[in-house]
Amino acid sequence: MSSKTKLGLFGFGCVGQGLYNVLHQTEGIKAEILKICIKNPNKKRSLPNEYFTLDKNDILFNEDINVVVEMIDDPEAAFEIVKIALQNGKAVVTANKKMIADHFVELYELQQQYNVPLLYEASACASIPIIRNLEEYYDNDLLGAVEGIFNGSTNYILTKIFKDNIDFDTALKQAQEIGFAETDPTLDVEAYDPKYKLCIILAHTFGLFVKPEEVFNYGIQNLSTFDIQYANEKGYKIKLVAFCRKVDNKIVAGVLPRFVKPENKLYTIENEYNGILVESAFTEYQFFAGKGAGSNPTGSAVLSDISALTYNYKYEYKKHNRGAKVELTNNFTVDLYVRYSTSNPIDTSLFSNIKESYSNADSAYIVGTINFNDLRNSDLLKRKDVNIIVSADNKFDVVANTAKTAAEQVEVI
Amino acid sequence: MSSKTKLGLFGFGCVGQGLYNVLHQTEGIKAEILKICIKNPNKKRSLPNEYFTLDKNDILFNEDINVVVEMIDDPEAAFEIVKIALQNGKAVVTANKKMIADHFVELYELQQQYNVPLLYEASACASIPIIRNLEEYYDNDLLGAVEGIFNGSTNYILTKIFKDNIDFDTALKQAQEIGFAETDPTLDVEAYDPKYKLCIILAHTFGLFVKPEEVFNYGIQNLSTFDIQYANEKGYKIKLVAFCRKVDNKIVAGVLPRFVKPENKLYTIENEYNGILVESAFTEYQFFAGKGAGSNPTGSAVLSDISALTYNYKYEYKKHNRGAKVELTNNFTVDLYVRYSTSNPIDTSLFSNIKESYSNADSAYIVGTINFNDLRNSDLLKRKDVNIIVSADNKFDVVANTAKTAAEQVEVI
């Protein structure tokens, strides 16, 4: 990287504006914005006109620009921009988690082929420097697990539910009103957003490149007052937890709601904050927390990436390049709370072990052990009257290869 | 660094033994122990005799060894070892916080002069990668404050006191029995240990190199059941908090007990864990937590440093080299709770503002605002019947230069 970083920005919303402000406040980072590509020429802008362009090629083929900062929403358009930028030898900073998760292998290969860095600290848990820490500090093969609250919108909703004793729909509406949830909240509420982040984390934790489709996600969309009351009675909170964990040298991963006890550090993470537990041999755990969403936390992570580029920093994908000796499995067991309408019983043969069952006139639940493969194939996932939450005391157990899960047996038949 | 790291170890206690085990369990780190210098030849060792030497020169002048790992207790002996190692072009990894804090400038200059790295992540909060994060991720001038629980022994004692409702002496004895406090607990209990760590943090947060003598420390040695009851009644815990903070472009720093409310993340840090709040512009705070003491967390930090050396990592002291534009000041105000024996009143003129006062037949306290300079010069610090705790709502205010503190006025007179 040359002594002075010359930036081309795609998008100039809150994050871009914040970035501009910060760059003009700090003397430490030698970076200058040359050009900003925008979509809407009619919006009033805070900078002189000569900064702006509607033509992406004014940045992508501008020889004075050596770093492209991509901050647009559309993942596919973003990927095209990032691809051409890397092909033109420009370093790229992005926060677009879906774009990265969808195109991980291509983005990895583009970096190798053109020998230019792509940094994306802001893509996972915004202000928490988790990727950098996984890549640099935990650069050995001693990591056992990374799990946490990766989505600020749903955590805000869950916090409201438990603090103000309100139901899911009311909490969602409140979150939308103050801008913590989108008008279409599906990506957050159904746990796609934390899944994209988990895919990125998986690459830097275990060297595993997986497609989002390979990772299971189940959100909080079916959370009922019955579930909330169950949690309250036990002294739990419900959190939407993304996890990846090495069990018997296989990796288990997914995103599911979980009952969390007060002694779990994730219990203390409220509102739009994110929290991440990193388990490694010899240290039990480390815990990271910080704002997981919003223009300023995202802007500060983007800024840190820009700064890192001035020191020639790049992800080395050490764990992947070392030759990943681990693979993702769905053949593991998990202890779940499954709640359903009493009038519409569930197939109890799904459970290899039933620990509790309960029913009243309206609602029923079973707490028991289910194989993750069976859960992924179960029609319970489609039922609106069903909710699935990981038990507070759950331990993941990988199933030895010889044993077939119910789902596999069905396939065989 | 050559493709293979050849280690010379000084000391082979728990940390050294753990390090040996880890190096033999992980394939990721290409490092090999060649020689171990020990003091006591008669102790039974788990490795063959040829590993060991009593002569430090067998390591310091061994051309095959390129990394020295210093793990001995004595700070002055450690400094001699580190100095000679650096002078001989060997990279050094150490966890010796007192040695580093006492000799910061010399160690900085040795690194520049001989162009060899000295890494010491394990010296501050063991398993929490705080130095690396401050140096690399927060490498701009936007940091506002770093504060936290830097000492595991005292946090263990304070946890016992508040959980089991016991007094300070009983808790200290219990901590000593299970090895969480030394036979001579002065360094921990009187807050010298967290002060050494704070000096290291100050260098990597604000680029400030300060001697330990310049930083104020007051421990938990005078904690009484009265103080504990006061905290309990308010719903507070007492934590020993090290802090450094930019206020009006000056830096305030010190270690003092503090009343902590439940909404403060430090409230949740229990037992031997450490917790660190990092405040930077645009992100509110990030929070880091993990085990702050013990051979395994320390060993894992040492291991991470060894691994970083294989990638030619070194601290660049970016904030210092940029030219520190900030200086340490003690001319600031702090809100304190000062408890004393009713029979031995204190000089209330110390307080510029008294917010609360209370007394019963035995104990009395005042909550009010004191200039830090006056506190440092006060004979209250020597009184065994006095305890000083920072208020839960304290804000540090730097005093404009024209105003003289009581201490300065005394000097003038």
What pLDDT is recorded for position B246? 95
Which residues of B, range 1-30, sit inside 8 Å of A by Cβ?
Answer: 18, 22, 25-29
CA distance B266 to chain A (A): 11
- Contact yes or no for B356/B367 (Cβ under 8 A): yes
B47-56, B89-98, B401-410: range with lowest mean pLDDT: B401-410
Chain B residues inside the 8 Å CB shell of A139: 28, 304, 307-308, 311
- How many C-beta atoms surround the C-beta of residue B341 within 10 A? 15
**pLDDT (tens digit, 9 = 90+) per residue, B337-348?**
999 999 999 999
Higher pLDDT: A286 or B412? It is A286
C-alpha R_g of chain A: 23
pLDDT reading at A100 higher than 50: yes
pLDDT reading at A358 higher than 80: yes
What pairs with residue A245 in β-bridges? Answer: A145, A252
**pLDDT (tens digit, 9 = 90+) per residue, A279-327?**
987 778 899 999 987 778 888 889 889 989 988 899 999 899 987 578 9
What pLDDT is recorded for position B17? 85
In chain A, list all ranges with CATH 3.30.360.10.
136-290+323-328
B318 part of contact set with chain A, CB < 8 Å = yes
Q: Do B140 and A25 touch (CB under 8 A)?
A: no
Location of structure tokens 């900073």: A93
In B, minimum Cα distance to A323 occurs at B28
What pLDDT is recorded for position B401? 66
Q: Do A286 and B285 touch (CB under 8 A)?
A: no
Higher pLDDT: A109 or B182? It is A109
What pLDDT is recorded for position A181? 80
What pLDDT is recorded for position A271? 93
Q: Do A142 and B26 touch (CB under 8 A)?
A: yes
Number of Cβ pairs closer than 8 Å across A and B? 137
Residue partners of A376: CB distance under 8 A and separation at least 6: A216, A330, A407
Cross-chain CB nearest to A29 (options B140, B283, B297): B140
**pLDDT (tens digit, 9 = 90+) per residue, A124-142?**
988 899 999 999 888 777 8
Helix and strand numbers, DSSP H then E, in chain A: 15, 18
Q: Do B25 and A307 touch (CB under 8 A)?
A: no
B322 part of contact set with chain A, CB < 8 Å = yes
E-strand ranges in A205-350 read: 216-217, 237-247, 250-260, 273-280, 286-291, 327-328, 332-341
- Contact yes or no for A125/A151 (Cβ under 8 A): no
* Per-residue tokens: A394: 């759950």
B136-140, B206-210, B225-229: range with lowest mean pLDDT: B136-140
A32-46, A227-241, A397-411, B186-200: range with lowest mean pLDDT: A397-411
Task: Give the best-scoring range by mean pLDDT among A310-319, B22-31, B174-183.
Answer: A310-319
Q: Do B129 and A140 touch (CB under 8 A)?
A: no
B283 part of contact set with chain A, CB < 8 Å = yes
CA A249 to chain centre: 23
Helix and strand numbers, DSSP H then E, in chain B: 15, 18
How far, in Å, CA of A156 to CA of A172, rounded? 9
**pLDDT (tens digit, 9 = 90+) per residue, A225-236?**
999 999 999 999
How far, in Å, CA of A124 to CA of A11, rounded? 19
CA distance A213 to chain B (A): 30
pLDDT band at A186 (very low <50, low <70, confident <90, very high): very high
What's the CATH number for A136-290+323-328? 3.30.360.10
pLDDT reading at B408 higher than 70: no
Backbone angles phi, psi at B5, to 5 degrees: -90, 125
Higher pLDDT: A9 or A312? It is A9
Domain spanning B140-290: CATH superfamily:
Dihydrodipicolinate Reductase; domain 2 (3.30.360.10)
What pLDDT is recorded for position A401? 66
What pLDDT is recorded for position A14? 81
Known catalytic residues of B are: 197
How far, in Å, CA of A376 to CA of A393, rounded? 21
Select from B135, B283, B312, B325 the residue whose CB has the most chain A CBs within 10 Å, as the one to mutate to test that interface. B283
Sign of CA dihedral A166, A170, A174, A179: positive
Q: Angle CA(B130)–CA(B135)–CA(B137) in degrees, nearest 5?
A: 85
How far, in Å, CA of B96 to CA of B79, rounded? 9
Backbone angles phi, psi at B189, to 5 degrees: -65, -35
Q: What pairing do the DSSP bridges indicate for beta strands A273-280 and A216-217? A: unpaired
Counting residues of chain A whose pLDDT is more than 90, the rounded percentage is 76
In B, minimum Cα distance to A136 occurs at B308
Cross-chain CB nearest to A137 (options B132, B138, B280): B132
Report chain B's terminal Cα–Cα distance, integer Å: 59
CA distance A286 to chain B (A): 4
A48-52, A117-121, A281-285, B114-118: range with lowest mean pLDDT: A281-285
Q: Looking at this protein, which amino acid is placed at residue A28?
A: G
How far, in Å, CA of B253 to CA of B256, rounded? 10
pLDDT reading at A253 higher than 50: yes
- SS3 sequence of A88-154: CCCEEEECCHHHHHHCHHHHHHHHHHHCCCEECHHHCCCCCCHHHHHHHHCCCCCEEEEEEECCHHH
Segment A98-114 shows an average pLDDT of: 98
What pLDDT is recorded for position B117? 97
Chain B residues inside the 8 Å CB shell of A132: 133, 136-137
The dihedral region occupied by B115, where left means phi > 0, alpha psi between -120 and 50, and beta the remainder, is left
Cross-chain CB nearest to A303 (options B140, B307, B313): B140
In chain B, list all ranges with CATH 3.30.70.
332-412
pLDDT reading at B410 higher than 60: no
**pLDDT (tens digit, 9 = 90+) per residue, B232-261?**
999 999 999 999 999 999 999 999 999 999
Chain A residues inside the 8 Å CB shell of B291: 283-284
Chain B residues inside the 8 Å CB shell of A318: 28
**pLDDT (tens digit, 9 = 90+) per residue, A155-176?**
999 999 999 999 999 999 998 8
How far, in Å, CA of B381 to CA of B234, rounded? 25
A285 part of contact set with chain B, CB < 8 Å = yes
A5-19, A218-232, A301-315, A397-411: range with lowest mean pLDDT: A397-411
pLDDT reading at A403 higher than 70: no
pLDDT reading at B98 higher than 90: yes
From residue A235, how far is each of A154, A260, B164 by CA, in Å? 20, 9, 21
Segment B126-142 shows an average pLDDT of: 87
pLDDT reading at B99 higher than 50: yes
In chain B, list all ranges with CATH 3.30.360.10.
140-290
- Contact yes or no for B370/B336 (Cβ under 8 A): yes
Cross-chain CB nearest to A296 (options B128, B141, B283): B283
B207 part of contact set with chain A, CB < 8 Å = no
3-state secondary structure of B278: strand
Cross-chain CB nearest to B282 (options A129, A136, A297): A297
Chain B residues inside the 8 Å CB shell of A283: 127, 290-291, 296-297, 300
Counting residues of chain B whose pLDDT is more than 90, the rounded percentage is 76
**pLDDT (tens digit, 9 = 90+) per residue, A34-64?**
999 999 888 888 899 999 999 999 999 999 9
How far, in Å, CA of A131 to CA of A315, rounded? 9
Residue partners of B179: CB distance under 8 A and separation at least 6: none
- Contact yes or no for B193/B97 (Cβ under 8 A): yes
Task: Give the best-scoring range by mean pLDDT among A177-186, A252-261, A394-403, B171-180.
Answer: A252-261
Chain A residues inside the 8 Å CB shell of B283: 127, 290-291, 296-297, 300
Q: Do A140 and B28 touch (CB under 8 A)?
A: yes
CA distance A26 to chain B (A): 6
Known catalytic residues of A are: 197
How far, in Å, CA of A231 to CA of A162, rounded? 9
Q: Looking at this protein, which amino acid is placed at residue B43?
A: K
What pLDDT is recorded for position B412? 41
Q: Do B282 and A265 touch (CB under 8 A)?
A: no
Segment A249-265 shows an average pLDDT of: 96
In A, minimum Cα distance to B21 occurs at A282
Tell me if the domain spanning A5-119 has CATH number 3.40.50.720: yes
pLDDT reading at B1 higher than 80: no
Q: Do A288 and B291 touch (CB under 8 A)?
A: no
Chain A residues inside the 8 Å CB shell of B300: 142, 280-283
B132 part of contact set with chain A, CB < 8 Å = yes
- Contact yes or no for A398/A250 (Cβ under 8 A): yes
Chain B residues inside the 8 Å CB shell of A141: 26-28
Q: Which CATH class is domain A332-412?
A: alpha beta
* Per-residue tokens: B353: 């503002």
What pLDDT is recorded for position B29? 77
| Mean of the per-residue pLDDT values of chain A | 92
Chain A residues inside the 8 Å CB shell of B24: none
> Packing angle between helix A295-310 and helix A14-25, nearest 10 degrees?
50
